[in-house]
Chains A and B, each alone.
Chain A
Amino acid sequence: GAVVSQHPSRVICKSGTSVKIECRSLDFQATTMFWYRQFPKQSLMLMATSNEGSKATYEQGVEKDKFLINHASLTLSTLTVTSAHPEDSSFYICSAPGTPDYNEQFFGPGTRLTVL
């Protein structure tokens, strides 16, 4: 099946710094990618939909100026957590639909962010 990679897998940063997370589709093109956040023992929460060549669509309650998304190519989307704070510590996961009708989603391995 299709492969989605994420980098880094883990990151620890100080409060106030910015962290960039990359999501790549390795063997297919993804005009759309999804960014999720998952807190411990909770389900995935969709943060935003990343669209290649256009602005991302953010879910209600997600600050677009804090979570910057760039989808510069058909295989790469980046999420930058700006001025990170401890409450931003979470598991961030990206996914991309592997088929045009979205009936299969391929997930990246996730990035564990810890903000001290």
Chain B
Amino acid sequence: GQNIDQPTEMTATEGAIVQINCTYQTSGFNGLFWYQQHAGEAPTFLSYNVLDGLEEKGRFSSFLSRSKGYSYLLLKELQMQDSASYLCAGMDSNYQLIWGAGTKLIIKP
């Protein structure tokens, strides 16, 4: 079956670094997405990885290892407004997104 696993909740301190892990199992693979979702709002696209390695985009970086079925989202210089849910989603061979349940990130001063 298809499955996405990520931690339910994480806590970090303002200014620090946090890594959110995601493991995936999909029927075929057409990429791994990370989205940010604030409460009551639709998700916002953060990153897309389809090849192994690290993609850096400002304070956010995303890593993919296809052989391990593993990805992480790295957030640096955390700000209070980074408090949100972070959704990991794998795209299967039919170009459908398989969503994780999301990781609620709590930032403390």
Contacts and interface: CB of A to CB of B under 8 A. Distances in A.
Interface residues of B, number: 20
Contacts of B105: none
Interface in A87-101: 91, 93, 97, 101
Contact of B41 (A1, A101, A110): A110
Interface of B: 30-31, 33, 40-45, 48, 50, 87, 91, 95-97, 99-102
A44 B31 contact: no
A46 B92 CA distance: 13
A106 interface: yes
A104 B42 contact: no
Most chain B CB neighbours (cut-off 10 Å) among A43, A91, A110: A43
A104 B97 CA distance: 11
Interface string A44-72: 11100100000000000000000000000
B42 A43 contact: no
9 contacts: A42-B101, A44-B43, A44-B99, A101-B30, A105-B45, A107-B43, A107-B44, A107-B45, A109-B42
Given A103-B30, A109-B42, 16 more contacts: A1-B45, A42-B101, A43-B87, A43-B99, A44-B99, A46-B99, A91-B40, A102-B91, A103-B48, A103-B91, A105-B33, A105-B45, A106-B45, A108-B42, A110-B41, A110-B42
B43 A46 contact: no
How many residues of A sit at the interface, in one of the four size bands? 20 to 34
Interface of A: 1, 34, 42-46, 49, 91, 93, 97, 101-110, 112
A79 to B, nearest CB: 15
Contacts of B41: 109-110
B43 to A, nearest CB: 5
Most chain B CB neighbours (cut-off 10 Å) among A1, A42, A105, A106: A105
